[in-house]
Structure 1
Amino acid sequence: MQGKREYINSSDGTKIGLLTEGSGPPLLLVHGGMCRLERWAPLWPYLTARHTVTAMDRRGRGSSGDAASYRIEAEYDDVCAVADHLSRRADGPIDVFGHSYGAACSLGAAAQGAPVRRVALYEPPGPQTVPVEWVERLHAFVAAGELGKAIGSFLIEIIGLPRDQVMAMRDTPMAYDPFPIMANTMPREADSLTTLDLAALAATVTQPVLLLLGEDSPAWAPEITHLLHEKLPESAIAGLKGQGHEAVDLDPGAVADALGAFFAKV
Protein backbone atom coordinates (compact mmCIF):
# COMPACT_ATOMS: atom_id res chain seq x y z
CA MET A 1 0.00 0.00 0.00
CA GLN A 2 1.32 3.41 -1.00
CA GLY A 3 0.57 6.67 0.76
CA LYS A 4 1.69 9.38 3.15
CA ARG A 5 2.39 8.36 6.75
CA GLU A 6 1.47 10.61 9.65
CA TYR A 7 0.58 10.37 13.33
CA ILE A 8 -1.86 12.04 15.66
CA ASN A 9 -2.53 11.73 19.39
CA SER A 10 -5.83 10.43 20.69
CA SER A 11 -7.53 12.05 23.68
CA ASP A 12 -5.57 9.89 26.15
CA GLY A 13 -2.25 10.63 24.44
CA THR A 14 -2.01 7.32 22.54
CA LYS A 15 -0.25 7.72 19.18
CA ILE A 16 -2.40 6.68 16.21
CA GLY A 17 -0.69 5.96 12.89
CA LEU A 18 -2.32 6.91 9.58
CA LEU A 19 -1.72 6.24 5.89
CA THR A 20 -3.35 8.51 3.27
CA GLU A 21 -3.53 8.20 -0.52
CA GLY A 22 -5.81 9.20 -3.41
CA SER A 23 -7.89 12.22 -4.33
CA GLY A 24 -11.49 13.20 -3.88
CA PRO A 25 -13.82 13.33 -0.85
CA PRO A 26 -12.21 12.20 2.42
CA LEU A 27 -12.84 8.63 3.57
CA LEU A 28 -11.55 7.00 6.77
CA LEU A 29 -11.08 3.21 7.00
CA VAL A 30 -11.20 1.44 10.38
CA HIS A 31 -10.04 -2.19 10.28
CA GLY A 32 -11.19 -5.13 12.37
CA GLY A 33 -9.40 -7.50 14.71
CA MET A 34 -6.25 -9.57 14.14
CA CYS A 35 -4.93 -7.12 11.54
CA ARG A 36 -3.35 -3.74 10.80
CA LEU A 37 -4.10 -1.03 8.25
CA GLU A 38 -2.40 -3.16 5.56
CA ARG A 39 -5.53 -5.27 5.78
CA TRP A 40 -7.09 -2.84 3.28
CA ALA A 41 -4.63 -3.65 0.47
CA PRO A 42 -7.18 -5.47 -1.77
CA LEU A 43 -9.64 -2.57 -1.52
CA TRP A 44 -7.08 0.25 -1.58
CA PRO A 45 -6.81 0.82 -5.37
CA TYR A 46 -10.60 0.81 -5.78
CA LEU A 47 -11.16 3.44 -3.09
CA THR A 48 -8.15 5.69 -3.69
CA ALA A 49 -9.34 6.14 -7.28
CA ARG A 50 -12.47 7.87 -5.93
CA HIS A 51 -11.54 9.28 -2.52
CA THR A 52 -8.74 10.71 -0.43
CA VAL A 53 -8.51 7.60 1.71
CA THR A 54 -6.98 7.44 5.18
CA ALA A 55 -6.47 4.08 6.90
CA MET A 56 -5.73 4.11 10.62
CA ASP A 57 -3.89 1.50 12.66
CA ARG A 58 -6.12 0.78 15.64
CA ARG A 59 -4.40 1.03 19.01
CA GLY A 60 -2.18 -1.86 20.02
CA ARG A 61 -0.90 -2.74 16.56
CA GLY A 62 1.11 -1.57 13.57
CA SER A 63 2.20 2.06 13.67
CA SER A 64 -0.07 2.97 16.60
CA GLY A 65 0.71 2.94 20.30
CA ASP A 66 -1.30 1.55 23.18
CA ALA A 67 -2.35 2.32 26.74
CA ALA A 68 -1.74 0.43 29.98
CA SER A 69 -5.42 -0.52 30.26
CA TYR A 70 -8.16 -1.06 27.70
CA ARG A 71 -11.69 0.22 27.18
CA ILE A 72 -13.57 -0.01 23.89
CA GLU A 73 -14.65 3.59 24.48
CA ALA A 74 -11.01 4.61 24.03
CA GLU A 75 -11.25 3.23 20.50
CA TYR A 76 -14.31 5.39 19.88
CA ASP A 77 -12.15 8.32 21.01
CA ASP A 78 -9.40 7.25 18.59
CA VAL A 79 -11.79 7.29 15.62
CA CYS A 80 -13.16 10.64 16.79
CA ALA A 81 -9.64 12.07 17.01
CA VAL A 82 -8.75 10.92 13.52
CA ALA A 83 -12.07 12.17 12.14
CA ASP A 84 -11.49 15.57 13.79
CA HIS A 85 -8.02 15.74 12.22
CA LEU A 86 -9.26 14.82 8.75
CA SER A 87 -12.33 17.05 8.89
CA ARG A 88 -10.20 20.07 9.77
CA ARG A 89 -8.01 19.34 6.77
CA ALA A 90 -11.06 18.84 4.51
CA ASP A 91 -12.97 21.77 6.01
CA GLY A 92 -16.02 19.59 6.55
CA PRO A 93 -17.26 16.21 7.82
CA ILE A 94 -15.80 13.00 6.43
CA ASP A 95 -17.12 9.56 5.48
CA VAL A 96 -16.17 6.43 7.44
CA PHE A 97 -16.08 2.71 6.61
CA GLY A 98 -15.49 0.21 9.40
CA HIS A 99 -15.15 -3.56 9.13
CA SER A 100 -15.96 -6.02 11.93
CA TYR A 101 -14.59 -4.73 15.27
CA GLY A 102 -13.63 -1.55 13.45
CA ALA A 103 -17.29 -1.14 12.49
CA ALA A 104 -18.26 -1.25 16.17
CA CYS A 105 -15.62 1.40 16.89
CA SER A 106 -16.92 3.52 14.01
CA LEU A 107 -20.49 3.24 15.29
CA GLY A 108 -19.32 4.29 18.75
CA ALA A 109 -17.49 7.30 17.33
CA ALA A 110 -20.54 8.40 15.37
CA ALA A 111 -22.64 8.04 18.52
CA GLN A 112 -20.17 10.31 20.33
CA GLY A 113 -20.60 13.04 17.74
CA ALA A 114 -17.57 12.56 15.51
CA PRO A 115 -17.59 14.89 12.47
CA VAL A 116 -18.89 12.21 10.12
CA ARG A 117 -21.15 12.71 7.10
CA ARG A 118 -21.99 9.08 6.24
CA VAL A 119 -21.04 5.79 7.90
CA ALA A 120 -20.71 2.34 6.32
CA LEU A 121 -20.50 -0.66 8.65
CA TYR A 122 -19.57 -4.17 7.55
CA GLU A 123 -20.88 -6.64 10.15
CA PRO A 124 -20.01 -5.09 13.52
CA PRO A 125 -19.82 -7.78 16.22
CA GLY A 126 -21.56 -7.83 19.57
CA PRO A 127 -22.36 -10.18 22.45
CA GLN A 128 -23.97 -12.62 19.99
CA THR A 129 -20.57 -13.00 18.30
CA VAL A 130 -18.59 -14.15 21.34
CA PRO A 131 -20.24 -16.90 23.43
CA VAL A 132 -18.88 -16.94 26.99
CA GLU A 133 -17.56 -20.50 26.60
CA TRP A 134 -15.55 -19.45 23.54
CA VAL A 135 -14.14 -16.37 25.29
CA GLU A 136 -12.94 -18.59 28.15
CA ARG A 137 -11.24 -20.97 25.70
CA LEU A 138 -9.64 -18.02 23.88
CA HIS A 139 -8.10 -16.79 27.12
CA ALA A 140 -6.86 -20.29 27.90
CA PHE A 141 -5.24 -20.67 24.47
CA VAL A 142 -3.48 -17.31 24.77
CA ALA A 143 -2.35 -17.94 28.36
CA ALA A 144 -0.86 -21.27 27.24
CA GLY A 145 0.90 -19.64 24.28
CA GLU A 146 -1.21 -21.64 21.81
CA LEU A 147 -1.76 -18.73 19.46
CA GLY A 148 -2.31 -20.90 16.39
CA LYS A 149 -5.19 -22.65 18.11
CA ALA A 150 -6.64 -19.30 19.18
CA ILE A 151 -6.52 -17.92 15.64
CA GLY A 152 -7.96 -21.11 14.16
CA SER A 153 -10.79 -21.13 16.69
CA PHE A 154 -11.60 -17.51 15.92
CA LEU A 155 -11.60 -17.95 12.14
CA ILE A 156 -13.58 -21.20 12.15
CA GLU A 157 -16.00 -20.81 15.06
CA ILE A 158 -16.60 -17.05 15.03
CA ILE A 159 -15.93 -15.90 11.45
CA GLY A 160 -17.29 -19.10 9.92
CA LEU A 161 -14.44 -19.92 7.54
CA PRO A 162 -14.13 -23.56 6.38
CA ARG A 163 -11.41 -25.50 8.16
CA ASP A 164 -9.58 -26.30 4.90
CA GLN A 165 -9.47 -22.59 4.00
CA VAL A 166 -8.04 -21.74 7.41
CA MET A 167 -5.41 -24.46 7.06
CA ALA A 168 -4.43 -23.11 3.63
CA MET A 169 -4.04 -19.62 5.09
CA ARG A 170 -1.14 -20.84 7.24
CA ASP A 171 1.06 -20.98 4.14
CA THR A 172 -0.14 -17.69 2.63
CA PRO A 173 2.43 -14.86 2.88
CA MET A 174 1.21 -11.84 4.87
CA ALA A 175 2.48 -8.30 5.12
CA TYR A 176 2.57 -8.60 8.93
CA ASP A 177 2.61 -11.20 11.71
CA PRO A 178 -0.89 -11.73 13.14
CA PHE A 179 0.29 -13.64 16.21
CA PRO A 180 1.42 -10.70 18.39
CA ILE A 181 -1.64 -8.72 17.34
CA MET A 182 -3.90 -11.58 18.34
CA ALA A 183 -2.11 -12.16 21.66
CA ASN A 184 -2.17 -8.46 22.59
CA THR A 185 -5.63 -7.46 21.44
CA MET A 186 -8.07 -10.30 20.78
CA PRO A 187 -8.76 -11.35 24.40
CA ARG A 188 -9.47 -7.78 25.48
CA GLU A 189 -11.67 -7.14 22.46
CA ALA A 190 -13.62 -10.35 23.05
CA ASP A 191 -14.18 -9.33 26.67
CA SER A 192 -15.45 -5.92 25.56
CA LEU A 193 -17.90 -7.43 23.10
CA THR A 194 -19.63 -9.50 25.78
CA THR A 195 -21.23 -6.36 27.24
CA LEU A 196 -21.35 -4.08 24.18
CA ASP A 197 -24.78 -2.46 23.70
CA LEU A 198 -24.88 -1.80 19.96
CA ALA A 199 -28.57 -0.88 20.04
CA ALA A 200 -27.93 1.94 22.51
CA LEU A 201 -25.13 3.30 20.33
CA ALA A 202 -27.27 3.08 17.20
CA ALA A 203 -30.13 5.01 18.77
CA THR A 204 -27.98 8.15 19.08
CA VAL A 205 -26.46 8.09 15.58
CA THR A 206 -27.96 10.76 13.33
CA GLN A 207 -25.98 10.18 10.12
CA PRO A 208 -27.11 7.92 7.26
CA VAL A 209 -25.65 4.43 7.73
CA LEU A 210 -25.04 1.67 5.19
CA LEU A 211 -24.95 -1.85 6.65
CA LEU A 212 -23.00 -4.33 4.51
CA LEU A 213 -24.00 -7.96 5.03
CA GLY A 214 -22.51 -11.07 3.46
CA GLU A 215 -25.00 -13.58 2.08
CA ASP A 216 -22.98 -16.43 3.62
CA SER A 217 -21.88 -14.74 6.85
CA PRO A 218 -22.18 -16.47 10.25
CA ALA A 219 -25.55 -16.33 11.99
CA TRP A 220 -24.58 -13.52 14.36
CA ALA A 221 -23.96 -11.12 11.45
CA PRO A 222 -27.52 -10.91 10.06
CA GLU A 223 -28.92 -10.88 13.60
CA ILE A 224 -26.88 -7.83 14.56
CA THR A 225 -27.25 -6.14 11.17
CA HIS A 226 -31.05 -6.32 11.27
CA LEU A 227 -31.07 -5.16 14.90
CA LEU A 228 -29.05 -2.09 13.94
CA HIS A 229 -31.27 -1.49 10.91
CA GLU A 230 -34.24 -1.28 13.27
CA LYS A 231 -32.51 1.01 15.77
CA LEU A 232 -30.71 3.43 13.45
CA PRO A 233 -32.78 6.49 12.47
CA GLU A 234 -31.61 6.25 8.82
CA SER A 235 -30.06 3.07 7.44
CA ALA A 236 -30.05 0.65 4.52
CA ILE A 237 -28.71 -2.89 4.10
CA ALA A 238 -26.51 -3.83 1.13
CA GLY A 239 -26.17 -7.55 0.57
CA LEU A 240 -22.91 -9.07 -0.69
CA LYS A 241 -23.93 -12.00 -2.84
CA GLY A 242 -21.96 -15.20 -2.34
CA GLN A 243 -19.74 -13.63 0.33
CA GLY A 244 -19.27 -13.94 4.06
CA HIS A 245 -17.41 -11.78 6.55
CA GLU A 246 -14.28 -11.44 4.39
CA ALA A 247 -15.49 -9.81 1.14
CA VAL A 248 -12.92 -7.04 1.60
CA ASP A 249 -10.38 -9.70 0.60
CA LEU A 250 -12.45 -11.97 -1.63
CA ASP A 251 -14.61 -9.49 -3.59
CA PRO A 252 -13.22 -5.97 -3.07
CA GLY A 253 -14.87 -4.74 -6.27
CA ALA A 254 -18.34 -5.51 -4.93
CA VAL A 255 -17.53 -3.81 -1.62
CA ALA A 256 -16.17 -0.76 -3.45
CA ASP A 257 -19.28 -0.54 -5.65
CA ALA A 258 -21.59 -0.61 -2.62
CA LEU A 259 -19.52 2.05 -0.87
CA GLY A 260 -19.27 4.19 -3.99
CA ALA A 261 -23.02 4.31 -4.48
CA PHE A 262 -23.59 5.17 -0.83
CA PHE A 263 -20.90 7.81 -0.41
CA ALA A 264 -21.79 9.48 -3.72
CA LYS A 265 -25.12 10.61 -2.25
CA VAL A 266 -25.36 14.22 -1.17
Structure 2
Amino acid sequence: MHAVAERLSASAPEGIDVFAHSIGAACALGAAGRGAPIRRLALYEPPGPETVTRDWIDRVSDWISSGRPERAMGSFLVEIVGLDEPTVTSLRDSPAAEEAVPIVERTMAREAEALLALDVVGLTAGVTVPALLMVGDRSPRWAATVTSRLREGLPGATVTVLDGHGHEAVDTAPGLVVARLDRFIAGPSGGDRVRPT
Protein backbone atom coordinates (compact mmCIF):
# COMPACT_ATOMS: atom_id res chain seq x y z
CA MET A 1 0.00 0.00 0.00
CA HIS A 2 2.83 2.38 0.84
CA ALA A 3 4.43 1.83 -2.57
CA VAL A 4 1.09 2.36 -4.34
CA ALA A 5 0.52 5.63 -2.48
CA GLU A 6 4.00 6.84 -3.38
CA ARG A 7 3.44 6.01 -7.04
CA LEU A 8 0.07 7.78 -7.16
CA SER A 9 1.35 10.81 -5.29
CA ALA A 10 3.80 11.54 -8.12
CA SER A 11 0.92 13.43 -9.77
CA ALA A 12 -0.52 14.70 -6.45
CA PRO A 13 2.29 16.33 -4.44
CA GLU A 14 -0.10 17.22 -1.61
CA GLY A 15 -0.79 13.51 -1.07
CA ILE A 16 -3.65 11.26 -2.06
CA ASP A 17 -7.04 10.65 -0.52
CA VAL A 18 -7.46 6.97 0.37
CA PHE A 19 -10.63 4.96 0.95
CA ALA A 20 -10.21 1.35 1.97
CA HIS A 21 -12.58 -1.38 3.13
CA SER A 22 -12.14 -4.41 5.37
CA ILE A 23 -8.63 -5.91 5.35
CA GLY A 24 -7.61 -3.30 2.79
CA ALA A 25 -8.45 -0.68 5.42
CA ALA A 26 -6.03 -2.30 7.86
CA CYS A 27 -3.33 -2.20 5.17
CA ALA A 28 -4.08 1.47 4.40
CA LEU A 29 -3.95 2.35 8.09
CA GLY A 30 -0.56 0.68 8.41
CA ALA A 31 0.74 2.55 5.37
CA ALA A 32 -0.48 5.89 6.75
CA GLY A 33 1.20 5.16 10.07
CA ARG A 34 4.49 4.56 8.25
CA GLY A 35 4.38 7.89 6.48
CA ALA A 36 2.80 7.06 3.13
CA PRO A 37 1.92 10.26 1.23
CA ILE A 38 -1.74 10.21 2.23
CA ARG A 39 -3.71 13.44 2.63
CA ARG A 40 -6.96 12.02 3.99
CA LEU A 41 -7.76 8.49 5.13
CA ALA A 42 -11.24 6.92 5.10
CA LEU A 43 -11.53 3.45 6.59
CA TYR A 44 -14.62 1.26 6.40
CA GLU A 45 -14.53 -1.46 9.05
CA PRO A 46 -10.91 -2.59 9.16
CA PRO A 47 -10.74 -5.94 10.97
CA GLY A 48 -8.69 -6.77 14.04
CA PRO A 49 -8.05 -9.69 16.38
CA GLU A 50 -11.70 -9.55 17.48
CA THR A 51 -12.76 -10.48 13.96
CA VAL A 52 -11.62 -14.11 14.06
CA THR A 53 -11.14 -16.87 16.62
CA ARG A 54 -8.58 -19.63 16.82
CA ASP A 55 -11.36 -22.21 16.45
CA TRP A 56 -12.65 -20.57 13.28
CA ILE A 57 -9.17 -20.34 11.75
CA ASP A 58 -8.53 -24.02 12.49
CA ARG A 59 -11.84 -25.04 10.88
CA VAL A 60 -11.22 -22.91 7.79
CA SER A 61 -7.67 -24.19 7.45
CA ASP A 62 -8.92 -27.77 7.61
CA TRP A 63 -11.58 -27.14 4.95
CA ILE A 64 -9.07 -25.50 2.63
CA SER A 65 -6.42 -28.17 3.07
CA SER A 66 -9.00 -30.91 2.44
CA GLY A 67 -10.13 -29.32 -0.83
CA ARG A 68 -13.28 -27.57 0.43
CA PRO A 69 -12.52 -23.86 -0.03
CA GLU A 70 -16.18 -23.16 -0.91
CA ARG A 71 -17.15 -24.20 2.61
CA ALA A 72 -14.47 -21.91 4.05
CA MET A 73 -15.78 -19.04 1.93
CA GLY A 74 -19.37 -19.68 3.04
CA SER A 75 -18.31 -19.73 6.69
CA PHE A 76 -16.43 -16.47 6.25
CA LEU A 77 -19.44 -14.75 4.69
CA VAL A 78 -21.84 -15.93 7.41
CA GLU A 79 -19.71 -16.03 10.57
CA ILE A 80 -17.34 -13.12 9.92
CA VAL A 81 -19.08 -10.77 7.46
CA GLY A 82 -22.54 -11.45 8.88
CA LEU A 83 -24.47 -12.30 5.72
CA ASP A 84 -27.56 -14.49 5.94
CA GLU A 85 -27.77 -17.90 4.28
CA PRO A 86 -30.07 -16.82 1.39
CA THR A 87 -27.63 -14.05 0.44
CA VAL A 88 -24.70 -16.47 0.56
CA THR A 89 -26.63 -18.95 -1.58
CA SER A 90 -27.27 -16.28 -4.21
CA LEU A 91 -23.59 -15.31 -4.17
CA ARG A 92 -22.58 -18.93 -4.79
CA ASP A 93 -24.38 -18.76 -8.12
CA SER A 94 -22.68 -15.53 -9.20
CA PRO A 95 -19.72 -15.36 -11.62
CA ALA A 96 -17.61 -13.76 -8.88
CA ALA A 97 -17.83 -16.90 -6.73
CA GLU A 98 -15.76 -18.94 -9.14
CA GLU A 99 -13.07 -16.25 -9.19
CA ALA A 100 -13.05 -16.04 -5.39
CA VAL A 101 -12.30 -19.71 -4.71
CA PRO A 102 -8.60 -19.63 -5.74
CA ILE A 103 -8.15 -16.46 -3.65
CA VAL A 104 -9.69 -18.19 -0.64
CA GLU A 105 -7.36 -21.14 -1.09
CA ARG A 106 -4.27 -18.95 -1.19
CA THR A 107 -5.01 -16.19 1.31
CA MET A 108 -7.87 -16.79 3.75
CA ALA A 109 -6.06 -18.83 6.42
CA ARG A 110 -2.91 -16.70 6.19
CA GLU A 111 -4.82 -13.41 6.51
CA ALA A 112 -6.87 -14.77 9.41
CA GLU A 113 -3.67 -15.73 11.25
CA ALA A 114 -2.32 -12.22 10.68
CA LEU A 115 -5.52 -10.67 12.03
CA LEU A 116 -5.36 -12.72 15.21
CA ALA A 117 -1.98 -11.14 16.00
CA LEU A 118 -2.70 -7.65 14.66
CA ASP A 119 -2.21 -4.65 16.94
CA VAL A 120 -4.83 -2.41 15.36
CA VAL A 121 -4.35 0.49 17.76
CA GLY A 122 -0.59 0.22 17.28
CA LEU A 123 -1.11 0.88 13.56
CA THR A 124 -2.49 4.33 14.43
CA ALA A 125 0.71 5.49 16.16
CA GLY A 126 2.17 7.48 13.26
CA VAL A 127 -1.09 8.59 11.64
CA THR A 128 -1.34 12.39 11.53
CA VAL A 129 -3.78 12.92 8.66
CA PRO A 130 -7.54 13.53 8.93
CA ALA A 131 -9.35 10.22 9.24
CA LEU A 132 -12.91 9.05 8.75
CA LEU A 133 -14.07 5.77 10.29
CA MET A 134 -17.15 4.24 8.68
CA VAL A 135 -19.19 1.50 10.36
CA GLY A 136 -22.55 -0.08 9.60
CA ASP A 137 -25.12 -0.36 12.36
CA ARG A 138 -25.97 -3.87 11.13
CA SER A 139 -22.37 -5.04 10.92
CA PRO A 140 -21.00 -7.86 13.07
CA ARG A 141 -20.08 -6.90 16.63
CA TRP A 142 -16.35 -6.95 15.86
CA ALA A 143 -16.74 -4.00 13.46
CA ALA A 144 -18.06 -1.67 16.16
CA THR A 145 -15.46 -2.90 18.63
CA VAL A 146 -12.52 -2.32 16.28
CA THR A 147 -13.92 1.06 15.18
CA SER A 148 -14.23 2.13 18.82
CA ARG A 149 -10.64 1.11 19.51
CA LEU A 150 -9.44 2.96 16.43
CA ARG A 151 -11.26 6.09 17.57
CA GLU A 152 -9.18 5.97 20.75
CA GLY A 153 -5.99 5.67 18.70
CA LEU A 154 -7.10 8.40 16.28
CA PRO A 155 -8.63 11.01 18.61
CA GLY A 156 -9.15 13.48 15.76
CA ALA A 157 -11.05 10.96 13.63
CA THR A 158 -14.75 11.19 12.90
CA VAL A 159 -16.96 8.13 13.05
CA THR A 160 -19.89 7.98 10.67
CA VAL A 161 -22.53 5.26 10.98
CA LEU A 162 -24.12 3.74 7.89
CA ASP A 163 -27.65 3.23 9.16
CA GLY A 164 -29.38 0.10 7.96
CA HIS A 165 -26.22 -1.42 6.50
CA GLY A 166 -23.57 -3.94 7.41
CA HIS A 167 -20.05 -4.76 6.34
CA GLU A 168 -20.99 -4.90 2.65
CA ALA A 169 -22.47 -1.42 2.07
CA VAL A 170 -19.81 -0.81 -0.58
CA ASP A 171 -21.86 -3.26 -2.68
CA THR A 172 -25.36 -2.76 -1.30
CA ALA A 173 -25.37 1.05 -0.86
CA PRO A 174 -22.52 2.50 -2.94
CA GLY A 175 -24.30 5.84 -3.28
CA LEU A 176 -24.42 6.26 0.49
CA VAL A 177 -20.74 5.38 0.86
CA VAL A 178 -19.76 7.80 -1.91
CA ALA A 179 -21.86 10.59 -0.37
CA ARG A 180 -20.05 10.20 2.97
CA LEU A 181 -16.70 10.14 1.21
CA ASP A 182 -17.55 13.25 -0.81
CA ARG A 183 -18.38 15.16 2.37
CA PHE A 184 -15.18 14.01 4.04
CA ILE A 185 -12.93 14.85 1.11
CA ALA A 186 -14.61 18.23 0.56
CA GLY A 187 -13.84 19.38 4.10
CA PRO A 188 -10.91 21.82 4.35
CA SER A 189 -9.05 19.53 6.74
CA GLY A 190 -10.88 16.30 6.11
CA GLY A 191 -13.17 14.89 8.79
CA ASP A 192 -13.85 18.14 10.64
CA ARG A 193 -16.96 18.74 8.50
CA VAL A 194 -18.33 15.22 8.74
CA ARG A 195 -20.81 14.53 11.49
CA PRO A 196 -21.99 11.10 12.64
CA THR A 197 -25.49 10.30 11.42
2:28 match:
106
Change (3 A) 1:115 1:176: farther
Matched, 1:263 2:185: yes
2:116 match:
194
User: Are the equivalent residues in 2 in contact too, given 1:210–1:238 (CA < 8 A)?
Assistant: yes
SS of equivalent to 2:96: coil
Distance between the aligned counterparts of 1:233 and 1:159, measured in 2? 27
User: Are the equivalent residues in 1 in contact too, given 2:19–2:42 (CA < 8 A)?
Assistant: yes
Which residue, out of 74, 79, 89, partners 1:157? Answer: 79
Deviation at 1:175, TM superposition (A): 8.7
Which residue, out of 31, 34, 47, partners 1:125? Answer: 47
Distance between the aligned counterparts of 1:146 and 1:174, measured in 2? 17
Deviation at 1:176, TM superposition (A): 6.5
Q: CA RMSD in A?
A: 1.2
1:234 match:
156
1:66 match:
none
Distance between the aligned counterparts of 1:136 and 1:171, measured in 2? 27
User: Are the equivalent residues in 1 in contact too, given 2:121–2:153 (CA < 8 A)?
Assistant: yes
The letter for the 2-side match of 1:244 is G
Matched, 1:81 2:6: no
Which residue, out of 106, 113, 132, partners 1:210? Answer: 132
Distance between the aligned counterparts of 2:173 and 2:81, measured in 1? 16
Q: Which runs of 5+ in 2 are unaligned?
A: 189-197
1:144 match:
66
User: Are the equivalent residues in 2 in contact too, given 1:202–1:231 (CA < 8 A)?
Assistant: yes
How many residues are matched?
188
Matched, 1:225 2:164: no
Q: Larger strand proportion, structure 1 or 2?
A: 1
- Higher relative CO (CA 8 A, sep ≥ 6), structure 1 or 2? 2
Q: Larger helix proportion, structure 1 or 2?
A: 2
The letter for the 2-side match of 1:219 is R
Distance between the aligned counterparts of 1:103 and 1:132, measured in 2? 22
Q: Which runs of 5+ in 1 are unaligned?
A: 1-78
The letter for the 1-side match of 2:153 is K
Distance between the aligned counterparts of 2:120 and 2:127, measured in 1? 11
Distance between the aligned counterparts of 1:165 and 1:231, measured in 2? 34
2:94 match:
172
User: Are the equivalent residues in 2 in contact too, given 1:97–1:121 (CA < 8 A)?
Assistant: yes
Matched, 1:245 2:154: no
Change (3 A) 1:106 1:176: farther
Deviation at 1:241, TM superposition (A): 1.0
What is the TM-score with the length of structure 1 in the denominator? Answer: 0.69
User: Are the equivalent residues in 2 in contact too, given 1:203–1:233 (CA < 8 A)?
Assistant: no
The letter for the 2-side match of 1:264 is A
User: Are the equivalent residues in 2 in contact too, given 1:206–1:233 (CA < 8 A)?
Assistant: no
Q: Deviations over 1:176-207 (max 9, x none)?
A: 60000111111111010011001111132111
Distance between the aligned counterparts of 1:148 and 1:173, measured in 2? 14
